[in-house]
Structure 1
Amino acid sequence: MWPAGEGRRGEGAMNAENLIGLILSVVLFVFMIVALLFPERF
């Protein structure tokens, strides 16, 4: 969108999307571990 930012590949938006994806993957990973450790709760 911005010519000056093309070389940086839209750093602001990409960082936000990567951060959201990272948080979602970590939450899912922790949920899987808890489900394996405490199967009687699910």
Structure 2
Amino acid sequence: MAAANRNIADARIASLSEENQFDAAYKAIMQLAMVGLLANG
């Protein structure tokens, strides 16, 4: 969860390129999906 939160924060940094913001947001989504899968077997 902490890594996903960091990536969400990174995705909001306006000085990053849109590509890097998207990459950070995508990574956060994947991390949160993994948390959900692990929590539900």
If the TM-score is normalised by the length of the shorter chain, which range does it land in?
A: 0.5 to 0.7
CA RMSD of aligned residues (A): 1.2
Tell me the TM-score normalized by structure 1. 0.56
Stretches of structure 2 lacking an aligned partner (at least 5 in a row): 1-15
Residue 27 (structure 1) aligned to one of 26, 29, 37? 29
Q: List structure 1 runs of 4+ shifted beyond 4 angstroms.
A: none
Residue identity matched to 1:37: A
Tell me the TM-score normalized by structure 2. 0.58
How many pairs align? 26
- Larger of the two Rg values belongs to structure: 1
Identity of aligned residues (%): 15
